[in-house]
Amino acid sequence: MTTPFAAPKGVPDYFPPNSAAFTAVRSALLGATARAGYGYIELPVFEDTALFARGVGESTDVVSKEMYTFTDRGGRSITLRPEGTAGVMRAVIEHGLDRGQLPVKLAYAAQFFRAEQPQAGRYRQFHQVGVEAIGVDDPALDAEVIAIADEGFRALGLTGYRLELTSLGDATCRPQYREKLQAFLAKLPLDEDTRRRAEINPLRVLDDKRPEVRELVAEAPLMLDNLSPETLEHYERVKAHLGDLGVKYVENPRMVRGLDYYTKTTFEFVHDGLGAQSGIGGGGRYDGLMAQLGGQELSGVGFGLGVDRALLACQVEGLAVGDVTRCDVYGVPLGDAARSRLVGIGAPLRAAGVRYDMAYGGKGLKGAMKGADRSGARFALVLGERDIEAGVVQLKELATGEQREVPLDDVVTEVRGALGR
Ligand code: HAM
């Protein structure tokens, strides 16, 4: 059968039971941010196109090829957010959050939109948990941000990933390095496309995956060897603080990020079990961004962690995350009077924190018990006419089939006791 509608290309649906793992991954990553004092910010799904063009950079693939941009009814150019940092900066500037205590520490969990070619782990709508710490240029803050991401992944039980680290320098050394690299690349027998890329973003040529290009650029000068004394000192201190925090890393001096705003510390979390789309998170410092967007000259550092990819990584590592059971207790009514009683019992049970569901639609005993098994509940409450007359209900443990009578009036206490609460 063909269905009349399908989700847009590259857009995943999450539904039970797998959605439990998805929400568990998202809350584990967000939980790590809350434990470090980051407050939650809810961002708009769309913003002025110019915010992303100016913030993320016109020459990036994200802005030049991947944005979902449209003209709204008022003739304004609007874009579905392709990332979170620019929107957070906009909100901080607009609401003057940077006039209070610094750093401003904000966390978000949200969908983002990029019109990329869909493949395993690469979607057009994807989810990130992110943080931004704005207003203090302290290497200890860079290390904290990195450690929170690491802690989030570890809280899920993930082990098969590595943290890659580098420094992209800043305005005091990157322009000089860029010239040096361009001069080096200009002497190589590169094809037309690559030559053009060298003009626009020479760093990207260093990240070229083709073996013949890799060989040509093997001896290219690296940013890490050309840092100014200040940025080198900053980088050394970040590494020392990662040591203080017990966070392991490997240096990758050829790391290229897809967004233009990065300065100094830059990092990526890479999972080896995911194939081509191996980046489960990334981030870094962006000291010029706030001024670029019309705010004060304040520094910032943050990350975005891919929730969809972290979930895939959990599956690859065989980790069971999230509780797939929908309820603790399932009502099985036999007859109309029993139905009324079991409907009513739902209110005090749920108020007591017990997850309760029941058989709807006038099912018989067999159908209702099947529903109980499928729900993942530990117990069924089976109620018939005779039980009502006796003022009792049958509390049945579904795994063992063991059953005992409990007084209807004490059902909340009995159920909580049986669940060990
Ligand atoms: P990003 O590296 O573009 O950084 O994205 C962060 C993470 O989002 C990636 O490592 C990946 O896990 C996930 N991701 C990106 N694109 C897709 C996609 N098409 N499908 C599935 N997952 C994807 C940023 O967005 C920066 N705003 C992070 C940041 C915050 N830097 C500083 N503060």
Q: Do both 252 and 353 map to the same domain?
A: no
Q: Do both 90 and 146 map to the same domain?
A: yes
Residue 84 Cβ < 6 Å to ligand 1: yes
- 133 within domain boundaries: yes
Last residue of a domain, one of 260, 287, 316: 316
194 annotated to bind ligand: no
pLDDT score for 362: 86
Q: Do both 127 and 245 map to the same domain?
A: yes
The mean-pLDDT minimum among 30-34, 56-60, 245-249, 334-338 falls in 56-60
Shortest-distance Cα residue to atom 11 of ligand 1: 306
pTM of the model: 0.94
Burial class (CB in 10 A: 0-12, 13-18, 19+), 113: buried
pLDDT in tens, 250-289: 999 999 888 999 999 999 999 999 999 999 999 999 999 9
Residue 263 Cβ < 6 Å to ligand 1: no
- 395 within domain boundaries: yes
Residue 279 Cβ < 6 Å to ligand 1: yes
CATH code: domain of residue 336: 3.40.50.800
Whether 304 shows a pLDDT value over 90: the answer reads yes
Q: Do both 250 and 391 map to the same domain?
A: no
Last residue of a domain, one of 316, 348, 370: 316
pLDDT score for 160: 97
Beta-carbon contacts of residue 224 (< 8 Å; ≥ 6 apart): 166, 167, 235, 251, 253
Shortest-distance Cα residue to atom 28 of ligand 1: 304
CATH code: domain of residue 107: 3.30.930.10
pLDDT score for 208: 86
- 5 within domain boundaries: no
200-204 LR contacts (CB < 8 Å, sep 24+): 200/59, 201/59, 202/178, 203/168, 203/178, 203/256, 204/256
CA of 327 to the centre of ligand 1 (A): 34
- 323 within domain boundaries: no
Residue 27 Cβ < 6 Å to ligand 1: no
- 269 within domain boundaries: yes
151 annotated to bind ligand: no
CA of 281 to the centre of ligand 1 (A): 6
pLDDT in tens, 5-57: 999 999 999 999 889 999 999 999 999 999 999 999 999 999 999 999 999 99
Q: Which residue has the higher pLDDT, 207 or 335?
A: 335
Task: Write out the residue range of the structural domain in which residue 111 sits.
Answer: 18-173+227-316
pLDDT score for 197: 87
CA of 147 to the centre of ligand 1 (A): 17
- Taking the C-alpha atoms of residue 407 and residue 400, their distance in angstroms, rounded to an integer, is 21
pLDDT score for 59: 82
Q: Do both 124 and 257 map to the same domain?
A: yes
Last residue of a domain, one of 263, 285, 316: 316
Q: Do both 231 and 285 map to the same domain?
A: yes
In the predicted model, what is the mean pLDDT of residues 191-204? 90
CA of 117 to the centre of ligand 1 (A): 15
pLDDT score for 172: 93
- 267 within domain boundaries: yes
Task: Give the largest Cα separation in the chain, rounded.
Answer: 94
Residue 123 Cβ < 6 Å to ligand 1: yes
Q: 21 is written with which tokens?
A: 């793992």
251 annotated to bind ligand: no
Beta-carbon contacts of residue 141 (< 8 Å; ≥ 6 apart): 103, 133, 301
123 annotated to bind ligand: no
Q: Do both 143 and 239 map to the same domain?
A: yes
pLDDT in tens, 128-154: 999 999 999 999 999 999 999 999 999
Q: Is 310 in contact with 272 (CB distance < 8 Å)? A: no
- 261 within domain boundaries: yes
Q: Do both 248 and 355 map to the same domain?
A: no
Q: Do both 169 and 281 map to the same domain?
A: yes
108 annotated to bind ligand: no
Q: Into how many domains does the chain fold? A: 2
Residue 55 Cβ < 6 Å to ligand 1: no
- 194 within domain boundaries: no
Q: Which of 169, 166, 308, 156 is nearest to 250 (CA)?
A: 166
Q: Do both 255 and 377 map to the same domain?
A: no
pLDDT score for 314: 97
pLDDT score for 1: 66
Residue 302 Cβ < 6 Å to ligand 1: yes
Q: Do both 267 and 353 map to the same domain?
A: no
330 annotated to bind ligand: no
Mean pLDDT value across the chain: 96
Q: Do both 252 and 344 map to the same domain?
A: no
Percent of the residues in the chain that have a pLDDT greater than 70, as a whole number? 100
Residue 300 Cβ < 6 Å to ligand 1: no
User: 229-259: b or e for each residue (b if 16 or more CB lie within 10 Å)?
Assistant: eebbebbebbbebbeeeebebeebebbbbbb
